[in-house]
């Protein structure tokens, strides 16, 4: 395959700020199901969308396009901090019905890092409201990834990702992952 500007973007030449500055990135132009294709026609198994991204439902899903269009025809966006809408209420009701007893409310967020930030806030609020403001430490597994925000990066057990931002991050306890299932 011959690399061209249409098939590969060198990070120094793109206007999109990449994660790594000296790297070549394939230009993906379409996807179907779990497969994506670059500008030269090479196919890749999309093993990234289910990672730290949020597109785990597959590419090119006509049913999802139709559902998104129907919702956009009615109402495209409602900030859910102080407002709600029928679609959000229906989904919250359905999700709460799947949850264990005692979990009757849902908070919608845009991704994993925001969900982790919310979990940290809920835990902190719980302890502060009970007069235990000294309880703020969060324990997380070593090598775990919780997101790219400062709070979630502080919990991430990957020193290489944390190093440039260390002055902004509180120290947290990182423990080895449980391997009891795999130990002989």
111, 114, 116, 129, 135 from 123: Cα distances, Å: 19, 14, 11, 10, 9
Structural domains for the chain: 1-60 (3.90.1150.10), 62-98 (no CATH), 112-175 (no CATH)
For 13-44, the pLDDT digits (tens) are 777 777 667 777 888 899 999 899 998 899 99
Q: Would strands 28-32 and 43-45 be described as parallel, antiparallel, or unpaired?
A: unpaired
Predicted confidence at residue 85, as pLDDT, reads 94
* Of 109 and 7, more confident: 109
Provide the whole-model pTM.
0.74
What pLDDT shows up at residue 4?
53
Higher pLDDT, 149 or 13: 149
Helix (H, G, I), strand (E, B) or coil at 101: coil
CA dist 131 → 119, 135, 138 (Å): 19, 9, 18
């Amino acid at each position: 395959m011959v690399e061209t500007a249409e098939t590969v973007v060198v990070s120094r030449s793109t206007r999109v700020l990449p994660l790594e500055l000296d790297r070549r990135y394939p230009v993906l132009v379409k996807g179907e199901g779990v497969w994506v294709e670059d500008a030269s026609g090479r196919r890749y198994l999309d093993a990234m969308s289910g990672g730290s991204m949020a597109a785990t439902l597959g590419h090119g899903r006509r049913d999802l396009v139709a559902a998104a269009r129907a919702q956009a025809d009615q109402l495209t966006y409602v900030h859910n901090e102080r407002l709600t809408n029928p679609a959000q209420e229906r989904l919250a009701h359905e999700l709460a019905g799947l949850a264990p007893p005692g979990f009757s409310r849902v908070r919608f967020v845009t991704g994993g890092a925001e969900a982790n930030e919310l979990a940290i806030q809920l835990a902190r609020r719980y302890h502060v409201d009970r007069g235990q403001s000294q309880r703020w430490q969060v324990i997380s597994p070593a090598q775990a990834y919780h997101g790219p925000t400062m709070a979630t990066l502080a919990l991430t057990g990957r020193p290489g990702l944390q190093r440039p931002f260390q002055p902004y991050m509180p120290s947290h306890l990182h423990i080895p992952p449980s391997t009891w299932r795999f130990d002989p």
